[in-house]
């Protein structure tokens, strides 16, 4: 019998945590997730390319992306912003295009501000709302989500979910009294080292406009709300 070599970075669904909503199947560009109404979703690993769109979409923690788990990426956010976060431009960059664009800028010896700190993801669609919000909670003055050009995504069309997610985040930031422009979205190809350098320069200029008061407000305003069960428990203890 023949064999199929699959990606090491694939998604895995926790059957106990799955809420059977089917959102993961709806956003998978490869049709690698099988779901029927009222049933737990399952992953066809031979078809999964590991973009991470499903993992970023799941709101119940039911999906784990091997080698690029939520915990690993959040840990990088914490590490990058552990010291003097107000001096840094925080960047999520997709592996195939924008991260490679940064490499191109480097090997071409293009000049751009040294304030940027890049966290690599396989696709911009892997960046969840929680990851971006956590960066702001840790004191990031500005956050950039960058990926392949809209019609040139390495994972077919996964970056369409990036647009949906960032637009939703802009709304959340505005409602929380945080300037939406502190979160930027850019498409940078692997060959666009010059654009990468230009965008880093623009992000640095934007960073300089963010005050410490804004950063502190964002940290407080974007704190996760206590869950209903936790609120009831606190009320019971208080009484």
Give CA–CA dist 125/117, Å, rounded.
19
pLDDT over 70 at 144, yes or no? yes
Cβ–Cβ under 8 Å, residues 68 and 10: no
Across the range 1-18, mean pLDDT stands at 86
Q: What is the mean pLDDT of the chain?
A: 94
Q: Does the fold of domain 70-221 match that of domain 11-65? A: no
- Cβ atoms < 10 Å from Cβ of 152: 13
Assign 228 a pLDDT band (cuts: 50, 70, 90): low
Residue indicated by tokens 């606190």? 234
What's the token pair of residue 131? 């990851």
Q: How far is CA 235 from CA 132, 225, 226, 230, 238, in A?
A: 31, 15, 12, 9, 5
The arrangement of secondary structure in 11-65, i.e. its CATH architecture, is 2-Layer Sandwich (3.30)
pLDDT for the residue numbered 96: 96
* The CATH classification of domain 70-221, taken from the options 2.60.120, 1.10.1060, 3.40.50, 1.10.3470: 3.40.50
List, in order, residues 6 or more apart from 53 with CB less than 8 Å away.
Answer: 27, 28, 29, 123, 125, 126, 155, 158, 161
Tokens of 36: 């029927």
Render the burial of 105-134: b for 16+ CB within 10 Å, e for the rest.
beeeeeebeebbbbbbbbbbbbbbebbbbb
Whether residue 194 is predicted with pLDDT greater than 80 in this model: the reply is yes
**104 Cβ contact list (under 8 Å, min separation 6):** 190, 191, 192, 193, 196
Q: What is the pLDDT of residue 139?
A: 98
**pTM assigned to the model:** 0.92
Q: Residue ranges of the domains in the chain?
A: 11-65, 70-221
What is the tens place of the pLDDT at every residue in 19-28? Answer: 999 999 999 9
* 42-76 residue pLDDT tens: 999 989 999 999 999 999 999 999 988 999 999 99
């Amino acid at each position: 019998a023949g064999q199929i070599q699959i990606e090491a970075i694939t998604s895995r669904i926790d059957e106990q945590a799955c809420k059977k909503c089917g959102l993961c199947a709806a956003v998978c560009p490869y049709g690698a997730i099988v779901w029927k109404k009222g049933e737990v979703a399952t992953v066809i690993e031979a078809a999964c390319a590991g973009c991470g769109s499903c993992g970023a979409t799941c709101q119940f923690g039911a999906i784990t992306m091997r080698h690029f788990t939520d915990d690993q990426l959040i840990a990088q956010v914490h590490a990058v912003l552990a010291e003097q976060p107000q001096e840094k431009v925080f960047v999520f960059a997709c592996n195939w295009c924008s991260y490679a664009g940064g490499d191109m800028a480097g090997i071409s010896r293009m000049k751009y501000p040294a304030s940027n700190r890049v966290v690599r993801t396989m696709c911009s669609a892997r960046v969840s709302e929680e990851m971006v919000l956590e960066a702001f909670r840790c004191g990031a003055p500005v956050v950039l989500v960058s990926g392949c050009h809209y019609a040139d995504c390495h994972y077919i069309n996964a970056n369409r979910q990036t647009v949906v997610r960032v637009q939703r985040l802009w709304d959340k930031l505005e409602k929380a009294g945080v300037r939406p422009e502190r979160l930027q979205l850019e498409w940078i190809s692997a060959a666009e080292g010059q654009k990468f350098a230009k965008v880093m320069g623009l992000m640095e200029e934007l960073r300089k406009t963010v005050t410490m008061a804004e950063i502190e407000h964002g940290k407080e305003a974007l704190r996760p709300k206590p869950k209903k069960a936790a609120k009831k428990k606190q009320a019971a203890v208080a009484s």
